[in-house]
Structure 1
Amino acid sequence: MRTSELENLKVAIVGGGYGGAVAAVALSRLGATVSVYEQAAAIRQVGAGIGLRPPTIELFRELDIFDAIAAVSTPSDYFEILTATGEVIQREEWPKMHDYAQVNKTRFIHRGDFIDTLLALLPEGMVHLDHRLTEIEDSGSSATLTFAGGATVTADLVIGADGIRSTVRNQLFSDNQPVFAGAHAYRAVIDSVDTDGLDVDDNLRLYMNERGTMVYFLPLRHRDQVSFDITALSADDSWAPEVTTDELVALLDGFDERLVNITRNLDLDTVTSRAVFDIDPVDRWHSDCVTLLGDSAHAMLHHQGQGANQAIQDAGGLADALREADSVAEALALYQSTRKPVTDTLQRLSRESWDAESVSTAFPEKSSIT
């Protein structure tokens, strides 16, 4: 699209998470008038650590926000998969780390720090909190959003970045509902001094046993903390299951005693407990003026660590498509045709999870995605 067309483009983004916030940065850089509508009444420091992969870091360099992200993140060289007692099964460098003009290491960051950093890059007044979408009406060349309380907004382009239970997706594109993966994830951020000496470097470690229990140990050295995640099989599909310390400790029977001690000493008030869900692939993400982005389009399980990265890559891909195409409608078709094959593959691979007895690579996507 011509620069003048982009500068006259009014964009409404539903959702202020990873993908929505990066899309706001990227489309603002194109000159569009962007507004972000977030249903939360306040942005809070919630969640745990995530890994920003090398292609994501390269996008941040292109958007000139790398320095801001680097200031609140920890660089990592490799991912290591181990048995429950600590014997190394696989250790591999992060894919694509050396594919760019500068080395792009994967960077570990706390979700709250990431969102805070991104939102701080946006002009004051661009983000509108306490806006819960109740209805979207697609008129062809524009779409109108209605929020709880009755406020309405009309935009030339609406981006549904509103997560796994997306209102935009369910009203316009698909009735795909979250699919329970038969597992729970329990996450906490702990101080490095409380890790019994396991926090030895800046690299991600995954410990696993033959019963399907996995412990992710992700350093946040810039914070002197570690993101600690226990994922275990469960038949309970309640969205936020309750758990006791004894139950968590029992899940780690046979694991390295240091991991057991960390678990025993967790403050349950700081532990995020959730059942694990994704969605089946969505056939169509877009109309002529509305599109999906991130989890609303392709929520995936966390085993490959790709959910946040793909939401961010969606934002970059959408900005590229708007630059290249002659209209919003053409851009949205190009965006889906470019991004959907990648995310379909990663959704499938993420469902395959890990098997302690047959791990051949730390990065199964390497053989499927260039």
Structure 2
Amino acid sequence: MSLKGKNNSELKVAIIGGGFGGAAAAVALRSVGIKADLYEQAPVIGEVGAGIGMRPPTVEFFKDWGIYDAMVSKSSVSEYMEVVTGKGEVVFRERWPQLTDEPNARWSRLIHRADFIGTFLEHLPTESIHLDHKCKSVIDYGDYAVVQFEGDKTIEADLVIAADGIRSNIRSKFFSDAEPVYSGTHAYRAVIDKEDSFDIAPDNTFRVWVEGDVNVYVLPLHHRNQISFDVTVPSDDSSWAPEVETKDIVKHLTNFDPRIQKVAERINDYTCRALYDIDPVERWTSNSIALLGDAAHAMLHHQGQGANQAIQDAGALAEALRDADTIPQALQRYQARRKPVTDKYQELSRLNPSEENQTAFPEKETFERVAE
């Protein structure tokens, strides 16, 4: 479809998936005058389990989208990351890398996942959010697509954005039949009250405790008086949501600081997940369909970039649609801008934090911008 001379508000855009990427895409498109409908298979949209770090390239988009103040009010700034031994001895203490042209932008804003996605949804019209809509199939007619949902509901769209996650049915039908790759590890996640944390996070430094092949990620959410606690361990169990008891998690922490052990043993409501990613997908777009977020480039959590890259996808896609003459041209620009970056982050995300590493930030060499 030609975009030249056409009012953006006339475009019909359907976003499949109501996670970070889908919700961000809806907000981003709205900021350039494009109304998008968001379709989520669950009856309720929610995020549980852990905190995330929003990096400067991500936060910059929020200013353009009109949600910057809301995100700032629900987050706090971290200027340093530490890798420490299981006993708490500092291996690295480093400033966050400079990833924009702003020399002082060496930080991460720490936020709870529920607050993160909730902020996007608060800035969308309720009539544009369609819950309990499970996508059954998509038919690509070249210059438009048809989405069929369970229950015989059908819609037409000039553009379908597939933000349907690592097990994306749309990706497997149109772009790649490669299966998700099991990392051989589990993540056990919880958010605890700061008063129950035994002072393992006294400041806003994001810390990774490392002992052999076991990592404990401690991310402060002091604006909520909470701490995000994540234990990552090797496991042969590849089931997506393994059933693991607290006592089995604590067994992995025998050589850790007693405070880490005490925190772990007091948690009864871990979110347990096997960790998967995908290999880079060669092509993300057709003339009327685009992959976004985990559907395009699911990655492991070691570099904390999964959510960041999904939001940056949304921003790049909105800008491409704003500036291009046609939807196919916009989608080509979007892929050309984003894929080289996410390919590299997918590779880097497979590097576990280790005492043997030379830096806490393996992305520095590739992405850090040095101010002149």
TM-score normalised by the chain length of structure 2: 0.95
Aligned residue runs from structure 1 range 66-77, under 5 A: 66-77=68-79
SS in 1 for 2:243: coil
Q: CA offsets per residue over residues 121-146 of structure 1, 9 Å max, x none?
A: 01121110001111000000001111
Distance 1:75 1:31 in 2: 31
Aligned-residue offset at 1:209: 1.0
User: Is 1:152 equivalent to 2:154 in the alignment?
Assistant: yes
Corresponding letter in the other structure for 2:222:
R
- Residue in 2 aligned with 1:364? 362
Aligned-residue offset at 1:103: 4.6
Structure 1 residues 71 and 297, CA, compared in 2 at 3 Å: closer, same or farther? same
- Residue in 1 aligned with 2:262? 261
Selected match of 2:49 from 38, 47, 50: 47
Q: CA RMSD in A?
A: 1.5
- Residue in 1 aligned with 2:131? 129
Aligned-residue offset at 1:314: 0.3
Selected match of 1:197 from 196, 199, 202: 199
SS in 2 for 1:347: helix
Structure 1 unaligned segments of length 5 or more: list them.
none
Name the stretch that deviates more: 159-168 or 38-47.
Answer: 38-47
Corresponding letter in the other structure for 2:116:
F
| Contact 2:136 2:149 (C-alpha < 8 Å) held by counterparts | yes
User: Is 1:111 equivalent to 2:113 in the alignment?
Assistant: yes
Name the stretch that deviates more: 183-192 or 31-40.
Answer: 31-40
- Residue in 1 aligned with 2:214? 213
Q: CA offsets per residue over residues 103-128 of structure 1, 9 Å max, x none?
A: 57311111111111110101121110
Name the stretch that deviates more: 74-83 or 89-98.
Answer: 89-98
SS in 1 for 2:121: helix
- Residue in 2 aligned with 1:324? 323
| Contact 1:185 1:275 (C-alpha < 8 Å) held by counterparts | yes
- Residue in 1 aligned with 2:231? 230
Corresponding letter in the other structure for 1:153:
I
Aligned-residue offset at 1:305: 0.4
| Contact 1:12 1:35 (C-alpha < 8 Å) held by counterparts | yes
Corresponding letter in the other structure for 2:325:
D
SS in 1 for 2:363: helix
SS in 1 for 2:13: strand
User: Is 1:294 equivalent to 2:322 in the alignment?
Assistant: no
Q: CA offsets per residue over residues 272-298 of structure 1, 9 Å max, x none?
A: 001010011111100001000000000
Distance 1:49 1:92 in 2: 20
| Contact 2:78 2:108 (C-alpha < 8 Å) held by counterparts | yes
Aligned-residue offset at 1:101: 8.7
- Residue in 2 aligned with 1:100? 102
Aligned-residue offset at 1:96: 2.3
SS in 1 for 2:93: strand
Aligned residue runs from structure 1 range 32-43, under 5 A: 32-43=34-45
Distance 1:70 1:242 in 2: 36
- Residue in 2 aligned with 1:340? 339
Corresponding letter in the other structure for 1:342:
V
TM-score normalised by the chain length of structure 1: 0.96
User: Is 1:10 equivalent to 2:9 in the alignment?
Assistant: no
SS in 2 for 1:302: coil
User: Is 1:309 equivalent to 2:308 in the alignment?
Assistant: yes
Distance 2:203 2:365 in 1: 28
Aligned-residue offset at 1:173: 1.0
Structure 1 residues 301 and 103, CA, compared in 2 at 3 Å: closer, same or farther? closer
Distance 2:106 2:92 in 1: 21
Q: Percent identity?
A: 51
Corresponding letter in the other structure for 1:194:
D
Corresponding letter in the other structure for 1:186:
Y
Aligned-residue offset at 1:97: 6.8
- Residue in 2 aligned with 1:252? 253
Distance 1:312 1:23 in 2: 7
Distance 1:159 1:354 in 2: 33
Distance 1:23 1:87 in 2: 41
Structure 1 residues 368 and 45, CA, compared in 2 at 3 Å: closer, same or farther? closer
| Contact 1:7 1:30 (C-alpha < 8 Å) held by counterparts | no
Structure 1 residues 86 and 102, CA, compared in 2 at 3 Å: closer, same or farther? closer
| Contact 1:219 1:225 (C-alpha < 8 Å) held by counterparts | yes
Structure 1 residues 131 and 363, CA, compared in 2 at 3 Å: closer, same or farther? same
| Contact 2:215 2:231 (C-alpha < 8 Å) held by counterparts | yes
